[in-house]
Amino acid sequence: MINHAVIMAGGKGTRLSALTKGEIPKPMAPVLGKPLLLWQLEELKRNGIGRVTMVVGHLKEKITGYFGDGRDFGLEIDYVEEETPLGTAGAFALLKERVPEDRFLLVFGDLLFSLDLARMEEAFLRDGAEALLFVHPNSHPYDSDLVRTAADGRVTAFDSKKNVRSSWYDNCVNAGLYMLDRRMLDRVPEPVKTDFEKDLLAPMAERGEAIYAYRSPEYVKDVGTMDRIAAAEQELSRGLPEKRNLKNTQKAVFLDRDGVINVEKGFISRAEQFELLPGAAEAIRRINASGYLAVVATNQPVIARGEATLEQLDEIFRKMKTLLGQEGAYVDDVFFCPHHPDRGFPGERPEYKIRCDCRKPETGMLRAAAERYHIDLSESIVVGDMTQDIEFGRRGGCRTVLVLTGNGGKDGKYDVKPDYVCRDLLDAVETLGF
């Protein structure tokens, strides 16, 4: 079990000057009356971390004087001082003798978080990672640094928010929390100013090295501005960070795609055909704020029928995520079934022409999501525009909502009655009280 964390706590917090008044470093900014660093330490301790090394610089005595050797907080704390600012990774050269363990957690000092660290460590070991990045969707991907990944989660590139993005993109944001193999420290032989992402991670990704993304809907929030601290304080007051922790059971709204999120146009096989329904982004934004996960679960027989490739389907999903992000909304994950049992279509792909347990109304997608995110299906909701969606939810033990957009339940495949019938997705979330 991982036992050591390194916190980069040397920031000045210029954007928090109204709060810090130049008298305390950024990581000591108060959040609900408690220093941000203390929030971090309490969460690390809950996850079994026993030793913490803090990299300090600006007004370091405010940190060292408050926390000392950590005994009063049930931890062992030591410090590495940057005599001059070394960027986000230059201090690695100073950490080599302080981190004897095989792996450690790296946390930036402006983060508020609540997470199940054991799950992240399991992914780290499974992938054989040298660096594992905590990534998640957020409500503003258009002005965030994004991560590009391969199907197996390997990081292939970083997309800076400064780039001009001419294509649809995944809402996959680097949160600033990492699990690292100790070998990462050897990549900075001398204490010189080094940018962790630009100088270390990006070249590793380009070379195809063992750098992976860990996708999670858990709460990891940059609170480096006054507005973000205010938002975080409201979320803490509502218990949202703890609710999102995957140690606790989650609740989800499972959304069909065609006819629920986007305009029904038959089998969509190209991104240019995808068009958000009015009100869909606002509805998903309300789900995001509710504490429920927003999960897409959709049959996509265009793959089996040979009408689209997996790459083309991925582009459609990326367009969906881009358009939702432009309106401040996001989905936590997407599950899809590529299969279709009926044969006889020109260009069909035989390997997908099977009877499976993931094609609705079979419940494979629900079970996969429940396992991945610790979801209680009995506390979750399925929203769809077809009777097969309602049967899907019924078999999974979820409450169900039929929306009258798209097919509007006219498929008639199953004799089922939904718990609610609503005009559209926005009406559905309003009816459910989100």
- Catalytic residue IDs: 256, 258
- In the structure encoding, which two tokens stand for residue 151, read together? 């199907």
Distances (CA, A) of 335 to 252, 272, 364, 397: 13, 21, 10, 18
Identify which of 405, 396, 408, 403 has the alpha carbon closest to the alpha carbon of residue 369.
Answer: 396
> Rounded CA gap, 358 and 298, in Å?
10
Q: What angle do CA 259, 265, 270 make, to 5 degrees?
A: 110
Strands 146-149 and 155-159, how do they pair?
A: antiparallel
CB 143 within 8 A of CB 294: no
Q: What is the DSSP string of 177-212?
A: EEEEEGGGGGG--S---B-IIIIIIHHHHHTT-SEE
Pair 220, 141: CB distance under 8 Å: no
Running DSSP on this structure, what letter comes out for residue 52? E
Q: What backbone phi and psi angles, to 5 degrees, belong to 337? A: -105, 120
Which pair of structure tokens corresponds to residue 191? Answer: 């204490």
* Collapsed DSSP state (helix, strand, coil) of residue 325: helix
| CA 86 and chain centroid, separation | 28
DSSP state of 292: -
Half-sphere exposure of 410 (CA within 13 A, CB side): 6
Q: What are phi and psi of 401, to 5 degrees?
A: -130, 125
- Cα separations in angstroms, 202 against 95, 97, 104, 208: 21, 26, 20, 10
DSSP string of 222-283? E--SHHHHHHHHHHHHTTHHHHH-TTS-B-EEEE-SBTTTB---SS--SGGG--BPTTHHHH
Name the residue among 16, 12, 10, 9 with its Cα closest to residue 228. Answer: 16
> What are residue 110's phi and psi, to 5 degrees?
-110, 20
